[in-house]
A and B are shown apart, each in its own frame.
Chain A
Amino acid sequence: MYIGQGIVRQDGRLKVTGGARYAAEFDVPGCLHAVLVQSTIPAGAITGYDTAQAERMPGVVAIITHQNAGALNQHKAAQQTVTHPFLQDGRIVYNGQHVAVAVADTFERAEAAASAVRVRYAPSEAVTVMDESALSRAYKPKQFQNGEKSPDVSRGDEDAAFAGAPVRVEATYETPVEHHNPMEPHATIAMWRGDTVAVWTSTQGISGVQETLASAFGLPKESVTVVCPYVGGGFGCKGNTWPPATIAALAARHVGRPVKLVVTRPQMFTSNGYRPKTIQKIRLGAGRDGRLLSIRHDGFSQMSDPMLGEFSEPVGVVTQMAYSCRNVAVTHRVVPVNQGLPTYMRAPGESSGMFALESAMDEMAHALRMDPLAFRLANYAERDEQKDKPFASKGLRECYSRAADRFGWRQRNPTPGSMRDGRILVGWGMATSTYPTNRRPCHARIVVRSDGTVLVQSGVQDLGTGTYTIMAQCAADRLGVDIARVSAQLGDSRFPQGPVSGGSATAASVLPAIEAAADALLARLAALAALDPHFAQVPPADIRLDGFDLTAPGRRVPVLQVMARAGLHTVDAEGSSAPGDAYKAHSCHSFGAQFAEIRIDPDFGTIRVSRIVSCFEVGRLLNARTGRSQLLGGIVFGIGMALQEETLVDRATGRIVNSNIADYHVPVNADVPDIEVMTVDAPDLATGALGAKGAGELPMVGVAPAIANAVFHATGRRVRKLPIRVEDVLA
């Protein structure tokens, strides 16, 4: 079995030697460069452009505005389509909205021309920030979780239970606007040939790009080719097909030449979504025995003008299943402000919602004078009480106990401020992690070639997580061939269609499709062999692949020999898969336990995370090496959420203030402590053939509250607003 082993990632060497080619790096002859021009007011209308100066600048080919862009179809083609702003009208609904694009023969000339474009505006009133005073504008989302769920869910009678609860906790928590900031910015090269267009683009979903462009330009899907072999980080901001990809194709059509559009780092803050700010009101009621009597979670999530679409951070979805409790009420509201459309960002809803819920759980444990872990165990959910379904698998109890033991949780002195190392305050905190197991329909193809190699192909994406490698592992296992023969290809719309890489669903979606393709390929090889004189009178069902030979009792012929005799250079087969009945009959989640130790210099209020011990239950860990990396990376992301990440908005203008990665902080190596991750290896066969549950988002859920709870433990100060900064704990 290759699955499970720490196979080195297939694309690793290419990446570290610069051989992996990312979207902006494809060499397309005659390619021009496009640079976006963005609005400098938060609301209003464009009354005119002055482009003459820019048009006269050296190397400039075109300045495209809504007045000369040409019409595009703005219907939402796929769930992942974002249709505004496409340079189709002069309305401005946020500061940093695309209003024009400059095309020139070099990037620098396009940039200079873009800065010379003058836009005239008629400004109107804007609300740029969601704060308590803006909550009066809140409304119920119309397309909550893509219309698949209701924003308001309840069971029992939360009001009455809370009113009667002997111990009550009620608090408001806040998470800020955060931006994904992948290393690789959004980039697209678009090239038209007649009525077909090819794009090289950085995306988490080539299928979505294909559908979006086909729809925008009125083309059949087959006329759009999308290529994305590598993604330099996505974290959700490349899940949707954002307007810059469409604008690149529009510009290429406009100038009749290939065009490359790379979104600049500052523009990354207004071009491809963000995690919206949330204000979350939570109240918990409990008995003195430590049993939860009621949970209420009201989430408010910042939204753009509805013209741009709709996204709400689903903070309370996890609250519905996290703990055993009879009386639960959850609501979600969105608050429109003059900002861009928010979007999925790693564990959308779970990471932000669990910051609030797991902080509140810690507050309740403290109020009950209970150990935080014991309190969670006292309210352990044996089944999903909201869906009223059993969990497909739930190894959380084991996660708690293994991580707690390893961390040394039993040595924790519960009194805040009691644990010190000299002057340094030490804090221990913990939180629960969970994330749904998602799975989507997926197709794959396997090709055996006459040179003895095996190709496995699917139109999925590798966000840097190791998808290439697990695809090869899976195909090698199912076919029973040496993995050295097998290589994977993905990120090309000419391959069998795969789903968007989001929701930690790629592995669970693509591997079963590969298994189906492998089975189909084996059948095809057997059928081919049956025609071979060596296998005369042997029914195909009795012919097996062994190594790289086709065998039946007493007979053995190399595959390549069978293919050569049949005159074939390649043999291929396709397979597909979709979530099955077992998946639908269960509540499918992965789980984990996060334990954090922090150290605070009480003079300065500086917080250092000194140790994190986590145990995750992700079903079967498909690759010990890449899986571990993914878990570590998620935890680091969580440290950033807890202590650093925050997008600042200038209230007066709605402009993003820290739109660069010098001022928008993410953790550096020195911020990352000794992290120990363990996994409960338990294949979850209800969720998919190989029993993998997804590891991309789970590991960041619970990190921020574990750290916030540790801050409370160290200082006695409850910080309910992220990120936690020096001034929050400066005594």
Chain B
Amino acid sequence: MQPFTYVRPDTLEQALHEAAEPGASVLAGGTTMVDLMRGDLAAPRRVVDIGHLPGLSEIDLSGPVLRFGALARMADAAEDAALKRDYPALAESLQLAASQQLRNAATLGGNLLQRTRCPYFRNGVSACNKRVPGSGCSALDGEDREMALFGISDACVANYPGDWGTALAAFDTAVEIRSAAASRTVPLANFHVAYGDDPARETVLEQGEIVTAITVRATPAGRGSTYAKVRDRQSYAYALVSAAVALEMDGDTVASARVSLGGVASKPWRSAEAEAVLTGATLTEAAGLRAGEAAFAGARPGRHNAFKVELGRRVVARAALTASRRA
């Protein structure tokens, strides 16, 4: 960890002002930021603590747009009865993430910003274009079991680790962003940046900007949704593969489908290919598997993660069947 100045502004306006200072970073729940700082992966000169700011932790599911304050805790949303009933995929993605202790502390906004678990990035030493642009990618020829199959390049094959972001990607989600000068709303699909030529950049967030809320357009597909996650242990592990599926059904036929994938891409990954196969299909296990196959048709596996193609196909199928039963 490097020396830094800690500030704890009283208002969002002050915080935005502080966050605009060069070298400033925002601290909310701290569960990922402090980790990054301890590993010298983030070395802010100024840490702007916003965790206590009022008015940013409301969860409002009543209107045509669901609204999650950026400072709401993961546990608050995971245990929200209305969310569990109307958008089980969102609630499940949180329930299946991290540990209860972390969910109690981590915020919904911060969760979107968690950085890859790629060990070559995390160890602070290996060649890594994300950490030191131009230094190379150790994962390409290294231990790549947990690396991504989508949205990658020869510069970076790292994986986006979040569950919440993945589940949100299946819906019409937007991220509300404030800066001292302005505010803007960015569709989630454009919020994260796939790791192309510039793997150091992971979101469109600029210096001085703070995520204030996440919004989701209300949809009846929420009820027919699920988040399926396969991992190496029963709890407290990142996804090997996960899938969020939300369906509207017309009898046995899929009227509309939303599919997103986790554990396999450099950002929350919406699969239009799987959605196209499901839409209009009679939902059987075979149809689910076809959708899964379509989802992974464009996968670019490495040396140790090819199994995720077949596993992913099945996770999509299982999630589709579960979702259809709820729809």
Binding site for B on A (CB under 8 A): 40, 58, 108-109, 111-112, 115, 266, 603-606, 608, 643-644, 648, 650-653, 655, 657-660, 662-663, 665, 667-671, 725-727, 730
Is B314 touching A650 in the complex (CB atoms < 8 A)? no
Contact with A along B209-231 (1 / 0, CB 8 A): 00000000000000000000010
Chain B proximity of A98: nearest CB distance (Å): 15
Question: In whole angstroms, how far apart are the Cα atoms of A84 and B122 in the complex?
Answer: 27
Question: In whole angstroms, how far apart are the Cα atoms of A522 and B281 in the complex?
Answer: 87
B234 part of interface (Cβ distance < 8 Å): yes
Is A727 touching B307 in the complex (CB atoms < 8 A)? yes
Q: Which of A115, A650, A665, A730 has the most CB of B within 10 A?
A: A650
- What are 8 of the A-B contact pairs (CB < 8 Å)? A58-B3, A108-B3, A112-B1, A603-B318, A648-B119, A657-B120, A659-B119, A662-B117
- Chain A: CB-nearest residue to B317: A603
Is B123 touching A668 in the complex (CB atoms < 8 A)? no
Given the complex, which residues of A lie within 8 Å of B240, measured CB to CB?
726
Is A725 touching B232 in the complex (CB atoms < 8 A)? yes
Is B233 touching A651 in the complex (CB atoms < 8 A)? no
Question: In whole angstroms, how far apart are the Cα atoms of A667 and B122 in the complex?
Answer: 22
Is B122 touching A660 in the complex (CB atoms < 8 A)? yes
Given the complex, which residues of B lie within 8 Å of A606, measured CB to CB?
230
Given the complex, which residues of B lie within 8 Å of A657, measured CB to CB?
119-120, 123, 142-143
Is B142 touching A650 in the complex (CB atoms < 8 A)? yes
B315 part of interface (Cβ distance < 8 Å): yes
Given the complex, which residues of A lie within 8 Å of B39, measured CB to CB?
266
B311 part of interface (Cβ distance < 8 Å): yes
- Chain A: CB-nearest residue to B99: A668
Which residue from A112, A604, A658 sits with its C-beta under 8 Å from B314? Answer: A604
Which residue from B117, B123, B126, B311 sits with its C-beta under 8 Å from A726? Answer: B311
Chain A proximity of B59: nearest CB distance (Å): 27
Is A40 touching B125 in the complex (CB atoms < 8 A)? yes
Within 8 A of A (CB), among B2-23: 2-3
- Chain A: CB-nearest residue to B306: A727
Question: In whole angstroms, how far apart are the Cα atoms of A108 and B37 in the complex?
Answer: 11
A605-B311, A650-B138 known; A670+B234 contact, CB < 8 A: yes
Which residue from A652, A655, A667, A725 sits with its C-beta under 8 Å from B123? Answer: A655
Question: In whole angstroms, how far apart are the Cα atoms of A643 and B234 in the complex?
Answer: 11
Given the complex, which residues of B lie within 8 Å of A266, measured CB to CB?
39, 123
Given the complex, which residues of A lie within 8 Å of B307, measured CB to CB?
726-727, 730
Contact with A along B313-325 (1 / 0, CB 8 A): 0110110000000
Given the complex, which residues of B lie within 8 Å of A40, measured CB to CB?
125
Question: In whole angstroms, how far apart are the Cα atoms of A92 and B117 in the complex?
Answer: 28
Q: Which of B232, B236, B317 has the most CB of A within 10 A?
A: B232
Question: In whole angstroms, how far apart are the Cα atoms of A605 and B241 in the complex?
Answer: 12
Is B232 touching A668 in the complex (CB atoms < 8 A)? no
Question: In whole angstroms, how far apart are the Cα atoms of A108 and B47 in the complex?
Answer: 16
Is A671 touching B233 in the complex (CB atoms < 8 A)? yes
- Chain A: CB-nearest residue to B315: A604
Is A663 touching B119 in the complex (CB atoms < 8 A)? yes
Given the complex, which residues of A lie within 8 Å of B230, measured CB to CB?
604, 606, 726
Within 8 A of A (CB), among B294-327: 307, 310-311, 314-315, 317-318
Chain A proximity of B241: nearest CB distance (Å): 9
B272 part of interface (Cβ distance < 8 Å): no
Within 8 A of A (CB), among B61-101: none
**Dominant SS at the B interface?**
loop
- Chain B: CB-nearest residue to A731: B310
Is A648 touching B1 in the complex (CB atoms < 8 A)? no
Given the complex, which residues of B lie within 8 Å of A655, measured CB to CB?
123, 125-126
Within 8 A of A (CB), among B116-133: 117, 119-120, 122-123, 125-126
Question: In whole angstroms, how far apart are the Cα atoms of A111 and B39 in the complex?
Answer: 10
Is B3 touching A658 in the complex (CB atoms < 8 A)? no
Is A653 touching B126 in the complex (CB atoms < 8 A)? yes
Question: In whole angstroms, how far apart are the Cα atoms of A716 and B10 in the complex?
Answer: 63
Given the complex, which residues of B lie within 8 Å of A643, measured CB to CB?
232-233
B40 part of interface (Cβ distance < 8 Å): yes
A648-B143, A652-B142 known; A111+B123 contact, CB < 8 A: no
Question: In whole angstroms, how far apart are the Cα atoms of A696 and B312 in the complex?
Answer: 41
Given the complex, which residues of B lie within 8 Å of A604, measured CB to CB?
230, 311, 314-315, 318
CB-based closest 9 A-B pairs: A670-B234, A727-B307, A670-B235, A657-B119, A603-B314, A648-B143, A668-B235, A671-B234, A604-B230
Q: Which of A643, A648, A651 has the most CB of B within 10 A?
A: A648
Binding site for A on B (CB under 8 A): 1-3, 39-40, 117, 119-120, 122-123, 125-126, 138, 141-143, 230, 232-237, 240, 307, 310-311, 314-315, 317-318
Is A665 touching B232 in the complex (CB atoms < 8 A)? yes
- Chain A: CB-nearest residue to B40: A115
- Chain B: CB-nearest residue to A649: B143
Question: In whole angstroms, how far apart are the Cα atoms of A644 and B236 in the complex?
Answer: 13
Chain A proximity of B135: nearest CB distance (Å): 13
Is A665 touching B237 in the complex (CB atoms < 8 A)? yes
Question: In whole angstroms, how far apart are the Cα atoms of A287 and B125 in the complex?
Answer: 56
Is B120 touching A668 in the complex (CB atoms < 8 A)? no
Is B311 touching A730 in the complex (CB atoms < 8 A)? yes
Is A651 touching B2 in the complex (CB atoms < 8 A)? no
- Chain A: CB-nearest residue to B39: A266
- Chain B: CB-nearest residue to A658: B119
Question: In whole angstroms, how far apart are the Cα atoms of A671 and B315 in the complex?
Answer: 21
Chain B proximity of A410: nearest CB distance (Å): 30
Given the complex, which residues of B lie within 8 Å of A644, measured CB to CB?
232-233
Question: In whole angstroms, how far apart are the Cα atoms of A659 and B39 in the complex?
Answer: 12
Question: In whole angstroms, how far apart are the Cα atoms of A648 and B123 in the complex?
Answer: 13
Chain A proximity of B157: nearest CB distance (Å): 14
Question: In whole angstroms, how far apart are the Cα atoms of A725 and B307 in the complex?
Answer: 11
- Chain A: CB-nearest residue to B308: A727
Q: Which of A652, A657, A663 has the most CB of B within 10 A?
A: A657
Is B138 touching A652 in the complex (CB atoms < 8 A)? yes
- Chain B: CB-nearest residue to A58: B3
Chain B proximity of A223: nearest CB distance (Å): 37
Question: In whole angstroms, how far apart are the Cα atoms of A665 and B119 in the complex?
Answer: 14
Could you list 5 further interchain pairs (A-B, Cβ under 8 angstroms) beyond the known A115-B40, A648-B143? A266-B123, A604-B315, A608-B234, A655-B123, A726-B232
Chain B proximity of A403: nearest CB distance (Å): 25
Given the complex, which residues of B lie within 8 Å of A658, measured CB to CB?
119, 143
Given the complex, which residues of A lie within 8 Å of B311, measured CB to CB?
604-605, 726-727, 730
Chain A proximity of B232: nearest CB distance (Å): 6
Which residue from B126, B233, B237, B318 sits with its C-beta under 8 Å from A650? Answer: B126
Is A650 touching B143 in the complex (CB atoms < 8 A)? yes
Is B235 touching A669 in the complex (CB atoms < 8 A)? yes
Question: In whole angstroms, how far apart are the Cα atoms of A669 and B310 in the complex?
Answer: 29
- Chain B: CB-nearest residue to A660: B122
Given the complex, which residues of A lie within 8 Å of B125, measured CB to CB?
40, 655
Question: In whole angstroms, how far apart are the Cα atoms of A421 and B40 in the complex?
Answer: 49
Given the complex, which residues of B lie within 8 Å of A667, measured CB to CB?
233
Question: In whole angstroms, how far apart are the Cα atoms of A265 and B256 in the complex?
Answer: 48
Is B142 touching A651 in the complex (CB atoms < 8 A)? yes
Given the complex, which residues of A lie within 8 Å of B138, measured CB to CB?
650, 652-653
Is A111 touching B310 in the complex (CB atoms < 8 A)? no
Chain A proximity of B125: nearest CB distance (Å): 5
Chain B proximity of A502: nearest CB distance (Å): 28
Question: In whole angstroms, how far apart are the Cα atoms of A651 and B303 in the complex?
Answer: 14
Question: In whole angstroms, how far apart are the Cα atoms of A109 and B1 in the complex?
Answer: 8
